[in-house]
Amino acid sequence: NAGVTQTPKFQVLKTGQSMTLQCAQDMNHEYMSWYRQDPGMGLRLIHYSVGAGITDQGEVPNGYNVSRSTTEDFPLRLLSAAPSQTSVYFCASSYADTYNEQFFGPGTRLTVL
């Protein structure tokens, strides 16, 4: 199993550009989430999904869009990149049972100039 994969690993954008961060998992997990980590801070939840076709906002959703058309994939779209979105982005997945740990991808380091 590849686990949770994320592409790209690194990305540089100019202010106003849009892009999609890709996330895929091969563990048949129902739950998938996107977090961002800023320097010296913990992970903050952007959006999450409890299954295909179902998404909800997390703590910091503004400027991001998600959709979940399949169990495996959960892309994160930046609509119009801003320097404040410079961060490391982590995708995670887990089973839907009550108590389960999340499995994280390796992260995408995004810089917005």
The contact set with other proteins (CB under 8 A) reads: 4, 30-33, 35, 40-45, 48-50, 58-59, 90, 92, 94, 96-107
Length of the chain as a residue count: 113
C-beta closer to other proteins: residue 13 or 107: 107
End-to-end CA distance of the chain: 36
CB of 17 to other proteins, least distance (A): 24
CB of 71 to other proteins, least distance (A): 13
Per-residue CA distances from 77 to 20, 40, 55, 65, 101 (Å)? 4, 24, 13, 5, 25
C-beta closer to other proteins: residue 10 or 14: 10
CB of 12 to other proteins, least distance (A): 17
CB of 80 to other proteins, least distance (A): 26
Cα–Cα distance measured from residue 53 to residue 71, given in angstroms and rounded to the nearest whole number: 9
Q: Report yes or no: 66 and 50 within 8 Å, Cβ to Cβ.
A: no
C-beta closer to other proteins: residue 18 or 70: 70
